[in-house]
Amino acid sequence: MSSTKFSDLPNNTASKWWKDPGMRISFVHIITLYCAVYSLGYDGSLLNGLQALTEWNKDFNKPTGTKLGLIAASYYLPKIPLTFVIAWMVDRYGRKIGLYFGALFMFAGALLGGFCQNTSQLVGSRVLLGAGTAAAQVTAAALVPELAHPRIRHYAGGFLNTTYYVGSIFAAWLTFAMVYYPGSSSWSWRVPTLVQGFGPLLLGIGAYFIPQSPRWLVKKGRVDEAHEILATYHANGKMDDELVLLEMREIKASVELEKVAESASWLAWFQTRGNLRRFFVIIILGTATQWVGNGVVQYYLVPVLKTVGVTKPAQTTGVNGGLAIWNWFISMFGASLVERFGRRKLFLTSIIGMFCSFVMILGLAGGYNTNHHSSTGLAMIPFIFIFMGFYSLALTPLPMLYVPEICPLALRAKAAALLLLAQNCAQSFNQFANPVALNSISWKYYAVYVGVDIIYIGLFWWLIRETKGLTTEEAAVVYDPDHVQEANMEAEKRMHQEALKVAHNEGEHELDVKKSESHEHEYKV
**Three-state SS string across 294-333, please?**
HHHHHHCHHHHHHCCCCCCHHHHHHHHHHHHHHHHHHHHH
Given a cut of 90, whether residue 202 has pLDDT beyond it is yes
Backbone φ, ψ for residue 164 (5° rounding) = -55, -40
**Res 494: pLDDT:** 53
**Res 238: pLDDT:** 92
Three-state SS at 201: helix
In this predicted model, what pLDDT tens digit does every residue of 123-168 receive, in sequence order? 999 999 999 988 888 888 778 888 888 887 767 776 787 888 899 8
Residues 6+ apart with CB under 8 A from 226: 214, 215, 217, 218, 248, 251
pTM of the prediction? 0.74
Three-state SS at 372: coil
**Res 347: pLDDT:** 95
Contact indicator for 378, 310 with CB cutoff of 8 Å: yes
Band the pLDDT of 177: cuts 50, 70, 90: confident
Contact indicator for 263, 14 with CB cutoff of 8 Å: no
Alpha carbon distance 87, 261 (integer Å)? 15
The candidate with the shortest Cα–Cα distance to 336, out of 290, 385, 401, is: 401
Greater pLDDT, 4 or 209 = 209
Least confident among 170-179, 265-274, 306-315: 306-315
Sign of CA dihedral 58, 61, 66, 70: negative
Given a cut of 60, whether residue 496 has pLDDT beyond it is no
Cα 519 to its chain centre, rounded Å, is: 64
**Res 499: pLDDT:** 52
**Res 431: pLDDT:** 73
Contact indicator for 332, 162 with CB cutoff of 8 Å: yes
Given a cut of 60, whether residue 507 has pLDDT beyond it is no
**Res 262: pLDDT:** 58
Using alpha carbons, list the distances in angstroms from residue 248 to 130, 210, 343, 517, 523: 36, 19, 31, 35, 44
In this predicted model, what pLDDT tens digit does every residue of 80-133 receive, in sequence order? 888 778 878 887 888 899 999 999 999 999 999 999 999 999 999 999 999 998
CB atoms within 10 A of CB 440: 10
Least confident among 50-64, 200-214, 367-381, 501-515: 501-515
Q: What percent of the chain has pLDDT over 90?
A: 30
Residue range 475-504: mean pLDDT, rounded? 57
Band the pLDDT of 522: cuts 50, 70, 90: very low
**Helix (H) or strand (E) segment spanning residue 105:** helix 95-115
Alpha carbon distance 49, 319 (integer Å)? 10
Backbone φ, ψ for residue 63 (5° rounding) = -65, 135
Given a cut of 50, whether residue 196 has pLDDT beyond it is yes
Residues 6+ apart with CB under 8 A from 73: 428, 431, 432
Instruction: Report the amino acid identity of residue 329.
Output: F
Given a cut of 90, whether residue 408 has pLDDT beyond it is no
Q: What percent of the chain has pLDDT over 70?
A: 85
CB atoms within 10 A of CB 138: 26
Residues 6+ apart with CB under 8 A from 499: none
Alpha carbon distance 189, 122 (integer Å)? 12
Band the pLDDT of 337: cuts 50, 70, 90: confident
Residues 6+ apart with CB under 8 A from 382: none
CA angle, residues 237, 240, 242, in degrees to nearest 5:
105
Greater pLDDT, 413 or 13 = 13
The candidate with the shortest Cα–Cα distance to 336, out of 144, 162, 150, 474, is: 162
Given a cut of 80, whether residue 416 has pLDDT beyond it is no
Burial readout 286-315 (b: 16 or more C-beta within 10 A, e: otherwise): bbbbbbbbbbbbbbbbbbbbbbbbbeebeb
**Res 502: pLDDT:** 47
In this predicted model, what pLDDT tens digit does every residue of 427-454 receive, in sequence order? 888 877 887 887 788 888 889 999 999 9
| Average pLDDT in the chain | 82
Alpha carbon distance 345, 394 (integer Å)? 9
The CA R_g of the chain, rounded to the nearest whole Å, is 26
Alpha carbon distance 76, 431 (integer Å)? 9
In this predicted model, what pLDDT tens digit does every residue of 293-329 receive, in sequence order? 887 776 667 677 777 677 777 777 788 788 888 988 9
Greater pLDDT, 68 or 5 = 68
Given a cut of 70, whether residue 59 has pLDDT beyond it is yes
**Res 125: pLDDT:** 94
Greater pLDDT, 309 or 492 = 309
Given a cut of 90, whether residue 201 has pLDDT beyond it is yes
In this predicted model, what pLDDT tens digit does every residue of 350-379 receive, in sequence order? 999 999 999 998 888 888 888 777 777 788
